Homo-oligomer: A and B are copies of this chain.
């Protein structure tokens, strides 16, 4: 792959170049990612980025698929990044979501990509913002990032979008569970999916009760919307709410503030990834292994071990 050529291709909206650069970002080879991000970053900031998160089983993928279809009906070009936390250990990914959303893939105004999260390269936070950069630079009007909303990193990533949708369903991943997972605070729009099921009204009421406790009279009030995504019901109202939120956020300082937070996380994760890489490289790993031996044998403690590694990080280069 000639990176410079593919960068030009993405800026010209070529689908094959988009696929190649996203693969490169996912693979994580540093020099390539660095070149891609440096070249594309100036061309970003136009897309409406939308995070969609929620517990497993609430129907996020179906909702995302329907939201994509609705955005298409509104004449917008849409890219979806489905961040799949499967297997930080094996690297394997199940293709369920990808298959379910595959009917969208044929449409030229839609691009869908699953990305496995990579525990060992520093997690979700590391690759996702770079992938969003590529999609944004490719000229999509809307970029949707779908994550499982339970882990900290997963919730954080969804919350960095211009607008964040938190999806719930009756019974599964209910309001109390969502509160425990810390996802309520990040919502700009709540969706109670599977709203035709028993318990839906109770979930809406619980959610309303929690919102009433934390409402900011001068801020955005997240609407609570009911959908049956499997039949497409209520999805137009979700798209309407997202449009309203974007207008509200862009009129005030909110969109800019969110993007500043996103930049903070992106830069932080690049720095931390560099430190991780330097740690692995210490004396071809031998220094690190010797220190770990000492920790396990209780000859040294973890803080002293960390100190000795930090000293070396400052003097050795990556």
Contacts and interface: CB of A to CB of B under 8 A. Distances in A.
Given A271-B306, A298-B41, A94 B151 contact: no
A205 interface: no
Given A33-B303, A56-B181, A85-B180, 8 more contacts: A57-B173, A90-B182, A96-B176, A129-B302, A256-B296, A268-B276, A271-B313, A272-B275
A274 to B, nearest CB: 6
Nearest to A275: B275
Q: How many copies does the complex hold?
A: 2
Interface in A53-69: 55-57
Contacts of A264: 288, 292
A177 B296 contact: no
A182 B87 CA distance: 4
Query: Is the contact region of chain A dominated by helix, strand, or loop, or is it mixed?
Result: helix
Contacts of A101: none
A44 interface: yes
Interface stretch (A16-24, A104-112, A117-125, A237-245): A117-125
A305 interface: yes
Contact of A152 (B85, B90, B295): B85
Contact of A292 (B260, B291, B305): B260
A75 interface: no
A4 interface: no
B173 A56 contact: yes
Interface of A: 33-34, 37-38, 41-42, 44-45, 55-57, 84-90, 94, 96, 117, 119, 123-124, 129, 148, 150-156, 159, 172-173, 176-177, 179-182, 185-186, 256, 259-260, 263-264, 266-268, 270-272, 274-276, 279, 288, 291-293, 295-296, 298, 301-306, 309-310, 313-314
A82 to B, nearest CB: 11
B306 A45 contact: no
A304 B153 CA distance: 23
Contacts of A179: 86-87, 94
Contact of A295 (B173, B182, B263, B275): B263
A56 B85 CA distance: 16
Contacts of A117: 152
A182 B89 CA distance: 7
Contact of A55 (B45, B56, B155, B266): B56
Given A275-B272, A302-B267, A86 B181 contact: yes
B148 A181 contact: yes
A38 B279 contact: no
